[in-house]
Amino acid sequence: MPRLSVVIPCYNEAENVAELYGQLCEVVSCVGGDAEFLFVDDGSRDGTLARLRDLAGRDARVRAVSLSRNFGHQAALSAGIDHARGDAVVVMDADLQHPPELIRRFVERWAEGYDIVYAYREGVKPRLGYRIINRLMRVRIPPESADFRLMDRRVVEAFRHMPERTRFIRGMLSWLGFRQAGVGYQDRERFAGQRAYTLHQTARMALNAVLSFSIIPLRLASLLGLVTLLAGLAYAVYVLFAWWNGWNLARGWPALIMTILILGGVQLICLGIIAEYIGRVFEEVKHRPLYVVREEVGGGSETGTSAR
């Protein structure tokens, strides 16, 4: 029977991991075959790692990868995917907003020959962010899709060969291609605790999505510069025409200040867009590891520090 790995990044999820573990056990017993539950502790400040140690001590299927600090959700997901051993790998959140029972449907679609089976919020109008991202990116992200998905081992190995530091995993998996299918679900409330993703983090991830997969913002900067140049030339033609015909043009500081402010604003916007891309190049060329593992727990052994 194929082996299933379930990867769960955790950040201050001490109140959720035991309940999630119990529900995963029920789901796996229905699916059949071997399974492992791989929790990635992303520098939690509560008792998450202690709870994971306890679970790993009671069930050999439970493994925990503890990162040296909080590296962020996308890095923690990547760490889990790197350490997963299954023929199929499911990634999901620890707060139980992703219903574990959906894994059975994932496995059914996987058995039908699909390499990636992703979850999407059913009955929800696609948010503006998804529409903007899909307009700007070279790859298409399924509307209202989540990181909750199943990946075949072939997809996992291909994903592990993508070395970029600034990550938007949904976009990376869409870029890879393969046969993909969606499964709808109804989002649920968190079982316990507070939402880890802030509005600022969500906006930052959306920005990463666009800048990692599109050069359209650079082209928009060039277009903005061209429009400003044409507007300036048109104004110059108007001034020459007025001078030739002896018109009295309004003189004074307002028109001059307005022109300076508009040109300065356009230049700063263009420089800001270019700076975002240069900043990403700067992060990539340093070749720092995406994450650092402080220790691994369960799976028959405990290991020390490693990095990727």
pLDDT tens across 121-162, in order?
Answer: 876 665 656 566 666 666 677 766 778 899 999 999 999 988
pLDDT digits (tens, 9 = 90+) for 164-223: 877 788 888 888 888 998 888 877 665 555 565 555 555 666 666 666 666 667 777 777
Sequence-separated (6 or more) residues with CB below 8 Å from residue 169: 74, 77, 78, 147
Yes or no: say if 169 and 78 are a contact pair by the CB < 8 Å rule. yes
Whether 8 has a pLDDT exceeding 90, the answer reads yes
- Between CA 245 and CA 241 the distance in angstroms is 6
Please report which confidence band the pLDDT of residue 18 belongs to, taking 50, 70 and 90 as the band edges.
confident
- Percent of the chain residues past pLDDT 70, beyond the cut: 75
